[in-house]
Amino acid sequence: MHIDELPTPALWADLDVLESNIAEMARRLPGNRLRPHVKAHKSTALAALQYEAGHRGFTCATPREVLGLAQAGLGDDLLLANETVDVGRLTEMATSGARVTVAVDSEATIAAAAKAGIKECVIDIRVGFRCGCEVDEAHGLAQLAQKSNISVRGVMGYEGHAMGVVDLERRRELMESAMERLRQAHDVVGGDLVTGGGTGTHAINTWVNEIQAGSYVLMDTAYTEQVDQPFRQGLFLQSTIVSVAEKFAVCDAGLKAQGMDHGNPGWSGGEVLFCSDEHTNVVPEDTLKVGDRISLVPAHIDPTMAKHQSLHIVRDEQVIDRWDIDLRHW
């Protein structure tokens, strides 16, 4: 089937780009130097390719991702990198048969993990504007976890505020400031893991011993402005032109079909004006007619993947497979 035969809106990935991105990251960060973040794609089929490339541990954003990977036989070493106090879900993870480590940053998160039978944790350090404890709280929380029969594997800190910065030196400056806090915490907590980073800092963050990159597999448009990135965009949203005006055209893929928190999608055929619930308005460089197909490039792959049940796998514009996006929801 050609991509233009897909019912629209339809999400598809260029398999050549996907495989190239996975191989390039495996070359740069082999084995356990990378703990891929599955929140970016939410697919066990895609995670299996990362596993085959040598990455046996995964970073997860939700309990659903942890449980889905465990059920798929990819549970060698799973890190839930977001805090939760949901004892029921924590218990499911603790009894999943997978090795599960959870991030904790408070007495409450430690108590919930202990009650659920979780055996391992990392102390999450606030190195920017996300979750985490202060550096001077880390030692006490590590001691509390150990007293609660939870082994402390190390520390975690995510420099998300640096990730999308275009200027390399400014990105490095922000990353180093954040990682100095993580280093201070690790000095008092100890443990084998110093985990953090992402696609935007994967090549410059040498402070951690594993990188939690996820977007590299299919890439966000924001990262394409970073000239040091070797990865290519490989995720597309196929859409049909449903109306044509004198100065613009309208396609049938709106904000309900793609993540909009990073702005409008890209399009190689002209300018994207705006997106509404079910439509995107574009100004084409060449004449479009009703029924024509266009391929939008979602600005942020993580929420875009979460809006679709399946991902069409494409090579040379031919659909050769369809993968379930089976790690959606929470």
Q: Are residues 280 and 172 in the same domain?
A: no
Q: Are residues 24 and 158 in the same domain?
A: yes
pLDDT at 224: 84
Residue at 174 is within a domain: yes
Task: List, in sequence order, the alpha helices (H) in 190-323.
Answer: 301-306
Residue at 111 is within a domain: yes
Q: Are residues 29 and 7 in the same domain?
A: no
- The sign of the torsion formed by the CA atoms of 258, 79, 51, 329 equals negative
Q: What CATH number is associated with residue 310?
A: 2.40.37.20
Which residue range is the domain that position 154 belongs to?
Answer: 15-217
Q: Are residues 144 and 93 in the same domain?
A: yes
* Chain mean position to CA 322: 20
What's the CA gap between 141 and 27, in Å, rounded? 36
Q: Are residues 194 and 304 in the same domain?
A: no
Q: Are residues 181 and 127 in the same domain?
A: yes
**Over the stretch 110-129, which tens digit does the pLDDT of each residue have?**
999 999 999 999 999 999 99
Q: Of the candidates 169, 187, 217, which is a domain's last residue?
A: 217
Q: Of the candidates 165, 193, 217, which is a domain's last residue?
A: 217
Q: Are residues 196 and 91 in the same domain?
A: yes
Q: Mean pLDDT of residues grouped by 10 in the chain (330 residues)?
A: 97 98 98 98 98 98 98 98 98 98 98 98 96 98 98 97 95 97 98 98 97 97 90 97 97 97 95 97 97 97 97 98 97
Q: Are residues 203 and 242 in the same domain?
A: no
Q: Are residues 195 and 127 in the same domain?
A: yes
pTM greater than 0.85: yes
Q: How many CB atoms lie within 10 A of CB 286?
A: 7
Name the nearest CA neighbour of 200 among 233, 156, 234, 230: 230
Q: Are residues 85 and 121 in the same domain?
A: yes
Residue at 329 is within a domain: no
